[in-house]
Every structure is written in structure tokens, then in C-alpha cells.
Amino acid sequence: MLAVDGRVVMISGASRGIGAAVARRLAAAGYRLSLGVRDAARAPVQPGEDCLVTRYDARERDAAQAWVASTVERYGRVDALVNNAGIAPMSTIEDDDETILDDLWLVNVKAPLRVIRAALPHLKASGAGRIVNVASLSGKRVPNPNNGYAMSKFALVALTHSARRLGWKHGIRATALCPGFVATDLTAGVSSVDRADMIDPQDLAELVACLLALPNNAAIAELLVNMRYEDTL
């Protein structure tokens, strides 16, 4: 397992849900954090010597570059990314208005691409860079009419494999974390599944901590996490 040893982890969408759980778990493990959030007041870990909180809006073209720059200015390095920020509004094949589809593509695909692109030189320099893209089981199959969301998460899985391929010789290991229903505010409106049966964000945080700690010769390309049995998976 890799020693924490001052390693710096950037986490997007860290103010709530999965991102907040990951931030708390990694802070407890001793990582130095750079949290990308839209509202700094909602950061789950208080800013301090080992926690930088930066305003980051996934919809803004230059946000990734600015966030990475502030992280490097503070710590002098970037060792890992957890691309967690995401949205899940409904967008079906029959929708002629593509506004929602464009927004899904911007936040769920282009934003993590931009963060990876901006951080790549620093991840290469680390020699043991890690990328965890929080995708979804909707990136592995299409279980409902939300075609736009599924398309974006399929694309995020593809981005993960692209980053894994590009970064392999530099020691970068990338993983697509693909959970089913998670008990966060993103699934607050879901009525088809009992909330008590949904995945606890803290359990996903444990998995992220494990992925970041695995050595270069124990890489996991995709990690599927389900709350129920599905024969398609």
C-alpha cells in the first residue's frame, strides 16, 4: 500500500454526498486536501494547513485550470484526483430541446476531462498519480429512460480508460467508480428504491481510500458497486 506521506488529493463536488464523505475519510487518513466546491461555506473539512478550499464551478471553462493552479501554489504537487461533481436531470431520446443534454455533457464529461488535463503534468511527476472518476452503474447499462445521464456516464468511463492508457507508463492509475443508488440528495426524489437499502456514501469513501492507497502493480480499472443483484452486471 502507498504511504500517505504528504500526498495531495483534489476532490470536486466535495460539499455534499459522496464528495463530502470522501473528503472526511481522506482527511482522517492524513491526506492533504484540495476541495473544489461552489460554496466554500459548505466544505465538510475546515480550511487549514492540510485543507485548501477553492471555489470550483464545473460549468466554467477555466475553473479546472484555476483550481489546479491554486492547489500547486499551496502544496507544490498533485498526487490524486477524485472527480465527483455531477448532475442527473432527466434527458430522454425524444427530447428535442438539448439544453439539459448539453449541461449533462458539460458537467459530467467535459469538466472532469478539463481537471485531468490541467493536473496531468503533476500526476506524471508524482510517479504514483491516481484518478478516481465517480461514474455510475448507468455508465455500464441503461436501466431507465434517462438517456442523457447514461450517455454522459458511459463517456466518463471511456475518459477513465483513456486517462489510464495515457498515464500508465508514468505511474498514473485511473479507476471508474460505478455505484448504483447512493443515499445522497441526488437520489432524494427516487421512490422506486427504499432509501434504507441504498449505498451509504461512507462505504464508497472507504473504497476511494483503498483505490488511492493501492500500489502501481495492483490497479483497478473499473469498480462496480451495487445494492442489489442485476443479471446484466
Active site residue 229: no
User: Number of helices and strands (H, E) in the chain?
Assistant: 6, 7
Q: How far apart are CA 7 and CA 11, in angstroms?
A: 13
Contacting residues for 62 by C-beta, under 8 A, at least 6 apart: none
Residue 48 is given by DSSP the state B
Q: How far apart are CA 216 and CA 75, in angstroms?
A: 23
For the chain, report the end-to-end CA distance as a whole number of angstroms: 29
Whether 204 and 179 have beta carbons less than 8 Å apart is answered as yes
Q: How far apart are CA 127 and CA 168, in angstroms?
A: 10
> Which residue among 31, 56, 149, 229 is the active-site one?
149
Which secondary structure element, helix H or strand E, spans residue 178, and what is its range?
strand 173-179
Whether 212 and 130 have beta carbons less than 8 Å apart is answered as yes
Give the catalytic positions in this structure.
149
